[in-house]
Amino acid sequence: MKDLARRAFLFDFYGPLLTEKQSRIWDLYYNLDYSLAEIAEGEEISRQAVHDLLKRTEKILNDYESKLLLVQKFEMEREKLARIEALLQSLERESFCSEEGWMKKQDIGFEIKQMISDTLK
């Protein structure tokens, strides 16, 4: 998983466990694309302090993940759902001996896609 996406997942899963300041500075830097200087000015601290806080916060988030594995489990579930969707897509009209069977597959496929979509939100 790419670093930025991983950081986003870590924050999504474990962000509520951070302090208000850690959460705010993380959000400003990674989500709102503020520079270290902009954050430092707004928080009235040095750029180095912002940098250090971001590094400590990332370590905290990684420590949570190493213990709880929520992001890893989420990714595994997402991969399973993608495989299910691919299997559904592989079924063709010719795979069914009746129009009724094909229509039933279409209905089930639609419901499964809805469940996948709801799960990944």
CATH of the domain at 64: 1.10.10.10
59 shares its domain with 102? no
Give pLDDT, residue 95: 74
- The CA distance from 1 to 19, in Å, is 26
Domain around 115: 74-120
45 shares its domain with 24? yes
Q: Looking at the 3D structure of the chain, how many domains does it have?
A: 2
51 shares its domain with 100? no
Q: pLDDT digits over 94-109, tens only?
A: 777 888 888 888 888 8
84 shares its domain with 33? no
pLDDT at 91 over 70: yes
Q: pLDDT digits over 13-70, tens only?
A: 999 999 999 999 999 999 999 999 999 999 999 999 999 999 999 999 999 999 999 9
pLDDT at 1 over 70: no
53 shares its domain with 91? no
Q: Rounded to two decimals, what is the model's pTM?
A: 0.75
Instruction: Enter the tokens of residue 21.
Output: 């300041």
64 shares its domain with 81? no
- Single out the residue of 30, 28, 34 nearest to residue 5, CA to CA: 30
